[in-house]
Amino acid sequence: MEIAGKVAVVTGSSSGVGQATAELLAELGAAVIVNYNRGVDAANEIVAGITSRGGRAAAVQADVRSDADCRRLIQSAVDEFGALQILVNNAGMTHFIPHDDLEAVTDEVWDDIIGANLRGVFNCSRAAAPHMRAAGEGAIVNVSSVAGAGGGGSSIPYAASKAGVNVITKSLARVLGPEIRINTIAPGFIEGRWLRGGLGEETYEAGRERLTATAPLRGVATPETCADAIIALIERNVFVTGQTVTVDGGATL
């Protein structure tokens, strides 16, 4: 898919992987909806940066746990820029809970994590599909995690939610083709303040140093390397659908 001239929605794009992806899409010529839930100032700053460089972008608030918000978010792209061909389901959240602390996993924790990480992927993809078919083509990329395959990660519900993303990618690929391709990236350790804040400085640095020393590619993922993988699935891998691509420098081999 030629990205220049296309319209994209990137959920959860006021920081991290979402921000890097939105900025790269804009650099490649797409008009981009920068989605945020609470980070309005950050989203507006990203939009201002894109437009100052000659790109097209708009910030739209939506909580992907809400189907109504997902539908409004997708419609905003069509209203603002006239079409929709690209969706990156990046928005997500977690609760950092030791896996052996089973009693800390409440109904509220499940609702938060499944709502954002899994239901949001389905709801946004469902809302986007008619517009992509109307445009004649579509590419959706979901952001999962190696936790979805290995069962590790920040909490048991988080791992379960990401496993769900990997499976729903396959299910949706069967029904969205041939016009729409849907794939997933599964990063491992991602450098940045989100993981640093959740793990704490000492644990974060120890993990980063260990992977830098032991992973086959000697390092950890960054928002930019994740964005590169997302763009490859949109732009170059035109006969690939329903797949999950691990982005971890070989750490889980």
CATH number reported for the structural domain that contains residue 85 in this entry: 3.40.50.720
Residue 208 resides in a domain: no
Residue 107 resides in a domain: yes
Q: Which residues of 13-146 form beta strands (DSSP E)?
A: 31-36, 56-61, 86-89, 138-143
- Given a cut of 80, whether residue 244 has pLDDT beyond it is yes
| CA–CA distance, 61 with 196 (Å, rounded to integer) | 25
Range of the domain at 42: 7-190+225-247
pLDDT digits (tens, 9 = 90+) for 166-210: 999 999 999 999 999 999 999 998 988 878 888 888 888 988 999
State the Cα torsion 110-243-149-123 to the nearest 10°.
0
- 154 closest CA partner among 129, 115, 189: 189
- Structure-token pair, residue 138: 């579509």
Phi, psi of 87 (to 5 degrees): -135, 130
Question: What is the pTM assigned to this prediction?
Answer: 0.96
180 sits in which H/E element: strand 180-187
pLDDT digits (tens, 9 = 90+) for 111-153: 999 999 999 999 999 999 999 999 999 999 999 999 999 999 9
The pLDDT of residue 232 = 98
Residue 197 resides in a domain: no
Q: How many CB atoms lie within 10 A of CB 237?
A: 15
**What is the percent of the chain where pLDDT is above 90?**
92
Q: How many CB atoms lie within 10 A of CB 251?
A: 18
pLDDT digits (tens, 9 = 90+) for 71-102: 999 999 999 999 999 999 999 999 999 999 99
Domain count, the chain: 1
Residue 185 resides in a domain: yes
The pLDDT of residue 197 = 86
Residue 209 resides in a domain: no
Q: Which residues are catalytic?
A: 158
Give CA separation, 32 vs 56, 111, 151, 183, 239, in Å: 6, 29, 33, 19, 24
Residue 120 resides in a domain: yes
